[in-house]
Structure 1
Amino acid sequence: MVVEPGFDLADLTFWKKPLDERNAALARLRAMERPVYFAEPKVPMLRSGKGFYAIVRHADVVEISRNPKVFSSEPAVTSPPPPGWVKNVFGESIVNMDDPRHARLRRIVSRAFSPKMLADLNDDIQRACERIVDDVIAEGPRDFVAQVAARLPITVICDMMGIPQELREKVHRHVDISTAYTGVRSSVGRTLRMAASNVHALFELQRMVIKLGRERVENPRKDLVSALVNANVDGEKLTDKELGSFFAMLLVAGNETARNTMAHGIRLLTVNPEQRELLLSDFDAHIGGTIEEMVRYVSPIIQFRRNVTQEYELRGVTLKPGDQVALMYGSANRDEEVFTDPDRFDITRTPNPHVGFGGPGPHFCLGANLARQEIKIMFKELFTRLPDIRSVGEPELLLSNFDNSVRSQAFTFGEG
């Protein structure tokens, strides 16, 4: 059902609107008594077109996130979902699994994000940030996304996984293709062309890391691939397909949160000079709150889907098996019942129970602390060496109802 003319979350037109208009529309949805259903167009050869209930209130997003038995991540949390044959060929992403399969994989891959692993990465992240700022100074400011925000997370992930330098340009290219795929479409033809490109990108990423994994079985090193393909104390390790799927997920999901937050963040600190001044008055004291507020305000991932497995009552709506709900994180993060003056960017906001890393429960973002670490070190390096850095003009955004991605953002670090 369309709420009013020109207001349909399943329509590409809605996601072309300015952010202020979209936020106002979502606020009207939050004020309604019941969740609203939106029909979706069917796309040939892709399992889409079921329609969804938009879950826009913070409390409802949290409730559903904590109840995976009723609100399943299978067969997929994105739209359009991958065709069944893709899973057979490439394996299944951990984000599209329920327990016990999800618990097993998460138990294995969570070792990559242990406090010790993250502490060991600190120096590597610092060196990566230093190299990036060195290059920015040498090249001059052009595009903050390409030169900074998109470069750091993939560099860190490739360092973690032990990806050789000569393969990293290819990794960047395939990640950009996969990022562009998920979201609303302008035409069926474009959808299918993008789907084909995405499948090719996934194939190349998986082939790359599987080959590397087999090498690491014979000659293990101190990298994450070696740890994941060799049996550990409890005998668990990843299969080839699981390794390839995890690598693709880590590159796309693990990249997007930090990338999007930094890209939007430089502009937020530019257009809110009083918040920038406060941050720089005591960086170490305020950077934690700044990152949380950036993640809340930006909501790097706009939504995830969940699939209803049994009848469930939610604010007067009886959800039935087979129904689909869309957890609208960007809306939940501006819920007036939870956040005072939610459209204001405030780095001192406390408490700040945002769902920018996903809601609570088994699917809370594994890489949340890694993203925080990357953003903290990158912004400290930038503001220490380029204290006048700021964005210039409006960002170019990816047209998507899933990924709040900045395609490009002009910037400068000159005085004035």
Structure 2
Amino acid sequence: MAQSPPTAGALPDISDIDLSDNEFWKQPLEERHAAFARLRAHPPQFFAEPDMGPLPPGPGYYALVTHADVAEASREPGVFASQPSAISIPDMPPDFAEYFGSLINLDDPRHARLRRVVSRGFTPRMLTRLQEDVERHAARIADDLRETGPCDFVSRVAARLPLVVICEMMGIPEERHREVLENSNVVLAGNDPEYLGDDAETAMTRLLEAGENLSRLLAELAAQRRAEPTSDLTSALVNANVDGESLTDQELGSFFILLAVAGNETTRNAISHGLRLLTENPKQRELLWSDFETHAPGAVEEIVRHASPVVWMRRTLTRDHEMNGHTFREGDKTLLYYASANRDSAVFEDPDTFDITRKPNPHLGFGGPGPHFCLGAHLARREVTVMLRELHRSVPTIRAAAPPKRLASNFVNGIKSMPCEF
């Protein structure tokens, strides 16, 4: 994707870039980011929607790739709406979108109502209570790793911590943890045939089955907690009454799908990318290891910025609107590319460099400002911090032994496997 330097006053050529082509997302990360850098020099570009098999072709979308555009669209939910879908480019049936997206696919007042109820699980008091659990599980994972020796880092380390934390938050028995992991893998599989098969019909069937499995699991647990309340999050949610409001069974199931997928998969990928980045940048690793407590907060933020585990979210225009010199029309679809905004040289100096001392670091890795900022951001930060701390304690020489095997997805910057050695 190397380009000749543009002539004075000319914009770089972008005719070879198609964000809806699956082949684009198979390119090395460096080539993708170089393409986004060229796109950022232009006004928002329009792309045709990808072929989704049984779904009718949609009207296409504008790619928002600058930090300014993504941040402003995030601050204007009344104009850039999450309904009918924030997580799919095509318009899914409304029930399907809400089933898999929960509050991510909703606007106020329903979004505010649902978030108000589920926020009970993410209060400072609840997170403080979780801290000891996170530390205990991370220490056990690191100690197990030292005993196991070189292995796949994703399955042995990165995937285990967020999975067990979320399952224990919800009160899910240990024998069903793998069921949660396997089904959440399918829900966020993107276009990866390893999880979804080779054709659209099979993919849709597997996706629906995975969602139903997760929803059914929580329905069983919810029935138990209504009869015998406990101290876990499931019990708090099914018995919640916030200003006279509680969750329906459908809302509860959809929220669990969101929690299992967003809380598990994205944190797993942040931990995996963390090891990759520290391996590829040994001086940054040496700096972090030299004074972990001082540099850990900056390291976690830089990992999230540099990796951008969630690549984009969709918004739909509720009315005609002008933003940063571009006029959008009612009904236009836009994709907010966090992965591009987090490399915008107008905001980040030397944006492709991994720098754990970067200050300020106003990345959008947890979503832009506004009502859809990630509900679990504080928990994710704690999990990544604690896991890195335990690796430093238990296996300080750990490094990625080979390039990662990446998820075939344009939505999640996922790592399926990555060998480690120490």
TM-score by length of 1: 0.94
2:188·2:412 contact (CA, 8 Å) conserved in 1? Answer: yes
More displaced stretch, 126-135 vs 168-177:
126-135
Say which SS state the counterpart of residue 402 (structure 1) adopts: coil
More displaced stretch, 193-202 vs 125-134:
125-134
Partner of 1:411: 420
Give distance in 2, aligned partners of 1:89 and 1:17: 32
1:394 to 403, 406, 420: 403
1:325 to 323, 334, 355: 334
Matched, 1:13 2:23: yes
2:139 to 105, 127, 130: 130
Give the 5 Å matches for 1:13-412: 13-32=23-42, 34-46=43-55, 49-81=58-90, 83-84=92-93, 86-87=95-96, 90=99, 93-181=102-190, 190-232=199-241, 234-412=243-421
Say which SS state the counterpart of residue 19 (structure 2) adopts: coil
The letter of the residue matching 1:294 is I
CA gap 1:189/1:381 in 2 versus in 1, 3 angstroms: closer
Aligned length: 409
Instruction: Report the Cα offset of residue 137 of structure 1.
Output: 2.5
The letter of the residue matching 1:164 is P
CA gap 1:39/1:184 in 2 versus in 1, 3 angstroms: farther
CA gap 1:48/1:78 in 2 versus in 1, 3 angstroms: farther
Instruction: Report the Cα offset of residue 83 of structure 1.
Output: 3.4
2:48·2:60 contact (CA, 8 Å) conserved in 1? Answer: yes
Give distance in 2, aligned partners of 1:333 and 1:410: 27
Give distance in 1, aligned partners of 2:317 and 2:276: 38
The letter of the residue matching 2:207 is N
Instruction: Report the Cα offset of residue 4 of structure 1.
Output: 4.3
Give distance in 2, aligned partners of 1:180 and 1:239: 27
CA gap 1:92/1:344 in 2 versus in 1, 3 angstroms: closer
1:144·1:263 contact (CA, 8 Å) conserved in 2? Answer: yes
CA gap 1:181/1:198 in 2 versus in 1, 3 angstroms: farther
CA gap 1:273/1:206 in 2 versus in 1, 3 angstroms: same
The letter of the residue matching 1:379 is L
The letter of the residue matching 2:282 is P
CA gap 1:17/1:148 in 2 versus in 1, 3 angstroms: same
The letter of the residue matching 2:270 is T
The letter of the residue matching 1:244 is G
Give distance in 2, aligned partners of 1:80 and 1:327: 11
Instruction: Report the Cα offset of residue 325 of structure 1.
Output: 0.5
CA gap 1:88/1:95 in 2 versus in 1, 3 angstroms: closer
Give distance in 2, aligned partners of 1:143 and 1:265: 15
Instruction: Report the Cα offset of residue 188 of structure 1.
Output: 11
Instruction: Report the Cα offset of residue 138 of structure 1.
Output: 2.9
Q: Give the unaligned 5+ runs of structure 1.
A: none
Give distance in 2, aligned partners of 1:398 and 1:96: 23
Instruction: Report the Cα offset of residue 316 of structure 1.
Output: 3.5
Give distance in 2, aligned partners of 1:89 and 1:211: 20
Partner of 2:8: none
Give distance in 1, aligned partners of 2:352 and 2:198: 37
The letter of the residue matching 1:121 is L
Instruction: Report the Cα offset of residue 5 of structure 1.
Output: 4.9
Give distance in 1, aligned partners of 2:304 and 2:160: 19
Instruction: Report the Cα offset of residue 172 of structure 1.
Output: 1.1
